[in-house]
Amino acid sequence: MNPRRWWQRRRQRSTAAVTHRTAAPMLSFIAADPRRCRSVAGDQHEVVARFADARGEFVTWLEPGDEPVATAGQRLLAAFATDPEIDWVFSDESVAAAAFHKPGWSPALLLAQPYALRLAAVRRELAVAVGPPRAELGRVAAWDFALRATRAARKVAHIPELLCRSLPRVPPDDEQIAVVAASAASLGLAATVRRCPFAPVLSVGVRPTTSAAVTIIVPTRDRLDLVRTCIDSVVATTGHLDVQILIVDNGSVEPATMAWFTQLQQSPRIRVLRDDGPFDYSALMNRAVAACTTPLVLLLNNDTKAIAADWLDQLLGWLALPDVGAVGGRLRYDDDTIQHAGVILGIGGVASHGHKGFRHDQPGYHGLLHCVRDVSAVTGACLLTRRDDYLAVGGLDPGLRVAYNDIDFCLRLRARGRRVIFTPLAELYHFEGKSRGDDQRGQSRFDREIAFMQERWGPLLAADPFYNPNLALNATDFRRRQR
């Protein structure tokens, strides 16, 4: 059976058969040693040793060392009951006594680590359609099954509660790398999967699958010291790609800057677009994108500098997925601490950057600093998107002249069904604020833009789907929320 069509067979069943069904749903726990799981057995739960023995409409499986809490079965069944299209449910867990309050469902993150497994349950009918965990795969069987089943699932749900205690994570082995690489390839990604040296997760690198042209748009007003560093690093790292560079000159006056612009335009890859007037980032970028002809555009601040030689390849590779609308990289301050590793909604009233201030070689919160993953937004300091998607959502909103226009843009992309991806392998320095100073200097404008975001996105700002509700909204280090 085609797993993507398995639910169509369910809909063909007679309404009468469904109507007269009286038995309560059962959850089957599959455990190597069922005697260790007596605490979760009950009227709606059974504990068996093999998938073939499971009678439940829903199935979960336990690895050696997993200890579900007594209420785990009830909570999993309750989650399935909220929506008949939910096919996979996963929960938070305690990993070696450390609580892992997980992000919501992220297909990209499941490639980097098996975060949606402990504790997870699946609709039995889907498990049969895609093939249950294959015992011959040993330790990698559950991850392989999760990758296959969640891809076919209609909906994946997350319970932000600690329903299981599990053993410490160990570095991925070669078999797990092979399974993830095969899954990435089946999605159409040209991926290279390696162990991460800083956390027990996988580094999922990608490269472009097509030669689509991209225009890198860099706005500047003088600050030759910054913009020259930026452009030099871009030129040095993108020569193998079909790249054009568009410098948006927002009223430069210094002779050295103007002379450099003249010199640059001798290259067929670089042009300068003069756009005078007061600084208005949204308007500048909207006019620049309108002037582009390439299918892809990259917004890039003038106070950035490439670190990774393949930073642009890493961004471009994720656009092989047709449902991805924007991709952003990991940005460091010049002291090699993190400036951006994905946006978290709600922090500070609107949003902020997770892991801000962490050393770049720290693992971060349960390895998330080094994991590719879905996020609600990425910073416009380095944001790749399709030109058609940019224009379809109306570009950057003119009501947000300086702050939060990138976050608003990403949220409007997501509202249209597009995903936003953060990849830690596209690394650049970001000398934040050096080109135009701190947003807070225009306090009245800043306050208006905060109010704009809260009015448009208020409920979502308090419930980022990729940030656990058990974590604090007054810090960027993933500390637990104080009750």
- State how far the Cα of 377 lies from the Cα of 216, in Å rounded to an integer: 19
Q: Is residue 280 part of a domain?
A: yes
Instruction: Let me know whether 289 and 165 are in one domain.
Output: no
The dihedrals phi and psi of 305, each to the nearest 5 degrees, come to: -150, 130
For the record, the structure tokens of 62 come out as 């336990």
Instruction: Let me know whether 169 and 283 are in one domain.
Output: no
155 alpha-carbon distance from chain centroid: 17
The domain total for the chain is 2
The residue behind tokens 């068996």 is 48
Instruction: Let me know whether 99 and 245 are in one domain.
Output: no
Q: Is residue 197 part of a domain?
A: no
Q: Give the side-chain half-sphere CA count within 13 A for 83.
A: 11
Question: pLDDT band at residue 135, thresholds of 50, 70 and 90?
Answer: confident
For residue 393, the tally of other CB atoms under 10 A from its CB is 20
CA distances from 349 to 44, 170, 345, 399, 463 (A): 43, 37, 8, 18, 12
For the record, the structure tokens of 426 come out as 């596209």
**CATH code of 150's domain:** 3.90.550.10
Structural domain span for residue 170: 3-187
Question: pLDDT band at residue 97, thresholds of 50, 70 and 90?
Answer: confident
pLDDT tens for each residue of 244-279: 999 999 999 999 999 999 999 999 999 999 999 888
The string of DSSP letters for 208-250 reads -SS---EEEEEEESS-HHHHHHHHHHHHHH-TTS-EEEEEEES
State the pLDDT at residue 278: 87
Instruction: Let me know whether 140 and 247 are in one domain.
Output: no
pLDDT tens for each residue of 350-376: 999 999 999 999 999 999 999 999 999
Coil, helix or strand at residue 118: coil
349 alpha-carbon distance from chain centroid: 21
Hey, what amino acid is at 367?
A: G
Instruction: Let me know whether 93 and 144 are in one domain.
Output: yes
pLDDT tens for each residue of 460-479: 999 999 999 999 999 999 99
Strand-pair category, 243-249 with 214-220: parallel
Share of the chain above pLDDT 90, in %: 81
Instruction: Let me know whether 265 and 183 are in one domain.
Output: no
Instruction: Let me know whether 161 and 280 are in one domain.
Output: no
